[in-house]
Amino acid sequence: MVEVKLNKPKSSAGVDTSGALKGSSRTEMKSGSDIDVFDITIIGAGPVGLYGMYYAGLRGAKAKVIEGLPSVGGGLAALYPEKLVYDIAGFPQVRAKEYVGMAYRQAAYYQGSYALGQKVRELNRRDDGVIELVTKRGVHYSRTVIIACGMGAFVPRRLDLTNVRELEGKGIYYSIGNFERFKDKRLLIVGGGDSAFDYVMALEPIAKEINLIHRSATFAAHEESVEKVKTSSASLHYPFWEVKEIHGTDWIEAVTAVQTQTGEEKYFEVDACLFNIGFLANLGPIKTWGLEIWRNSIKVDEFMRSNIEGVYAAGDIVTHAGKIKLITTGCGEIAIAVNHAKTYLDPTAKLNPGHSSHLKR
């Protein structure tokens, strides 16, 4: 089993999570017979899982996180690292990748184990209460588990049109990591939600030309973003505009869009087309773990407990009566999960962790 143990950071400055958490210097091997049972194992190192690692440390738990991707950060790192996020408590605005850096640094205040690049395939609760988490590289053991897997695997919604799959990565994108490569390019952005509008705002100063098409009369994006884009140099085409045809062989060359009510067509010569028409939830193996699932989400109670004893869940993957899928609410949920896992592990422990500002460091 390959794991990375993280120590307390020496300073609070300049943590680069991608590098730090792909690091190899603190890698240790464990043989199959060297069974190490953790108190709390979190599946998924998105913003919620990272905050859970901090919280597990705060509660004195021996904690591990297992992440399918080679680095931490979940959706923020994988889908929108360059975007500014405005609604995280205490941050008037913060770039997604920078928030991940700070979340990691906070988690790394306590020593925890990070098993990166390992997708959990099976979850089995043994009769003795120990939970086995099976990955391709081996089995992890834990007394409690918190599932913070977001939407599961990220699968962008695709249009069922000729050329879409063929030109993915050749001018067709669903998310963008490096904005600079769109400098002086002609872009067509498809969608009316926050992602589409955030990309327009971020790329408008550097791209040569941006057109956005949307099929509805209203936008799901924040009103403020819509107003900003309307007064920018980007051109908005809505309502009822949809992609009809994608042109190009080795690289995208143009897109034909159609106004579905009037039949009018527009031909956009483009260097790239960015689809922001949503993601499909794909729980993958999680569906087979015996959890109660409702609409691709794990049902939890007010303690963030699933139907399997010792197994909790938090963040985008859960559903409950008041569920709202946001970073801030997910972080609150995993704090609840960790505190309840703590009293499950040790019934004499207090549920309330006390105030971190009172703790001696």
Ligand X SMILES: Cc1cc2nc3c(=O)[nH]c(=O)nc-3n(C[C@H](O)[C@H](O)[C@H](O)COP(=O)(O)OP(=O)(O)OC[C@H]3O[C@@H](n4cnc5c(N)ncnc54)[C@H](O)[C@@H]3O)c2cc1C
Q: List the beta bridge partners of residue 276.
A: none
Q: What's the closest the beta carbon of residue 155 comes to ligand X, in angstroms?
A: 11
The two three-digit tokens of residue 192, written as one number: 């009316």
Q: What's the closest the beta carbon of residue 276 comes to ligand X, in angstroms?
A: 7
Q: What's the closest the beta carbon of residue 72 comes to ligand X, in angstroms?
A: 7
Which residues are at the interface with ligand X (CB under 6 A)?
43-49, 66-69, 74-76, 79-80, 85, 87, 119-120, 148-152, 194-195, 285, 315-316, 325-328, 330
Largest CA distance in the chain: 70
Nearer to ligand X, 194 or 209 (CB): 194
Nearer to ligand X, 88 or 259 (CB): 88
Edge to edge, what strands does the sheet with 272-275 contain? Answer: 172-173, 272-275, 186-190, 209-213, 235-237
Q: What's the closest the beta carbon of residue 348 comes to ligand X, in angstroms?
A: 31
For residue 361, the tally of other CB atoms under 10 A from its CB is 5
**Residue sitting closest to ligand X (CB):** 150
The two three-digit tokens of residue 334, written as one number: 């995993």
Residue whose C-alpha is closest to residue 97's, from 147, 158, 47: 47
Nearer to ligand X, 44 or 57 (CB): 44
Nearer to ligand X, 74 or 171 (CB): 74
The two three-digit tokens of residue 289, written as one number: 């773990």
Q: What's the closest the beta carbon of residue 148 comes to ligand X, in angstroms?
A: 5
Q: How far apart are CA 163 and CA 159, in angstroms?
A: 10
Nearer to ligand X, 194 or 204 (CB): 194
Q: How far apart are CA 255 and CA 270, in angstroms?
A: 7
Q: How far apart are CA 131 and CA 139, in angstroms?
A: 10
Nearer to ligand X, 45 or 311 (CB): 45
Q: What's the closest the beta carbon of residue 42 comes to ligand X, in angstroms?
A: 9
